[in-house]
Amino acid sequence: MHNNTNSFFLIAGPCVVENKAITFEIAENLKTITTKLNIPFYFKASYKKANRTSIHSFSTIGEDKAIDILKNIKEILNLKIVTDIHETSDIKKIKNIVDVIQIPAFLCRQTELLIAAGETGKIINIKKGQFANATQMQFAREKVLSTGNNKIWITERGNSFGYEDLIVDFRNIPILKSQGNNVVLDITHSLQQPNKENGITHGQPQFAETLAKCGIIAGVDGIFLETHPNPELALSDGKNMLRLDTIEDMLRKLLAIKV
């Protein structure tokens, strides 16, 4: 579990592994920034995206190729790695590479998936479903705890508000913390605008810093964000990703208000 009380920790990276060059560029930049600011850092990138809206949306460059890139980043840059899984069969592919296994929001109630993830003994980051309230997440937590694994993070990422918007209820933060978890706030996915007619999720990344500041004041343990040098060119979730060159300034502001 994360126990550095002097700072929040950061989970950040691109939405998905696009290629070796861009993934290393993002990882190296984030490592430099977080080392300078003394922020504990976990590099996140999906090796595949299984829950895309459209069949035409980008999914993966190839599972084995993407996993090898994550492995190289872990070994060469000495970074802790986060990636998500969608089926129990995914665990065998990534369990020897990652430090944190992430459960996507849409799958936070999948009992077999949570139990199989918990049995690895890794940190399990469960993203709160857009359909779930904070109190309900105790049941997801119990599924992982049933394996004897108490290394659990819960990530707040907004609730569905109508058909095409999400909203963060900051009352969720103390509720989730009271359950005994480390609590993370996802400041980019919380600003998604899903269910667009063209099958491409939109977003409002201009409000990410505001969400992050509110999260720090509310007492979150970690901040989750997705970033890219050129979000407009990103292969997944570019509409709500943050520009890589804006990250350091925002993190400095968050450290200044950490209480």
| pLDDT single digits (tens) 24-65 | 999 999 999 999 999 999 999 999 877 756 666 666 788 999
Q: Residue range 193-216: average pLDDT? A: 74
pLDDT over 90 (residue 90): yes
What is residue 49's predicted lDDT score, i.e. its pLDDT?
78
Write down the H helix ranges in 98-246: 111-118, 137-145, 172-178, 208-218
Under the banding of pLDDT at 50, 70 and 90, the label for residue 3 is very low
pLDDT over 80 (residue 67): yes
> How far from the centroid of its chain's Cα atoms is residue 172's Cα?
17
Q: Residue range 96-113: average pLDDT? A: 96
Q: Residue range 165-185: average pLDDT? A: 94
Q: Which residue has the higher pLDDT, 196 or 161?
A: 161
In whole numbers, what is the pLDDT of the chain averaged over residues?
A: 90
pLDDT over 90 (residue 70): yes
Under the banding of pLDDT at 50, 70 and 90, the label for residue 196 is very low
What is residue 57's predicted lDDT score, i.e. its pLDDT?
66
Given a contact cutoff of 8 angstroms between Cβ atoms, the answer to whether 203 and 192 are in contact is yes
Positive or negative torsion for Cα 44, 50, 54, 57: positive
Segments of the chain assigned E as strands: 9-13, 41-44, 80-84, 100-103, 123-127, 152-156, 159-160, 166-167, 182-186, 192-193, 202-203, 222-228, 242-243
What is residue 195's predicted lDDT score, i.e. its pLDDT?
47
| pLDDT single digits (tens) 182-194 | 999 999 988 876 6
Closest CA to 259 of 209, 216, 212: 216
Token pair in block for residue 147: 């394996």
| pLDDT single digits (tens) 208-256 | 999 999 999 999 999 999 999 988 887 766 677 899 999 999 999 999 9
Bridging pattern class, strands 166-167 and 159-160 = antiparallel
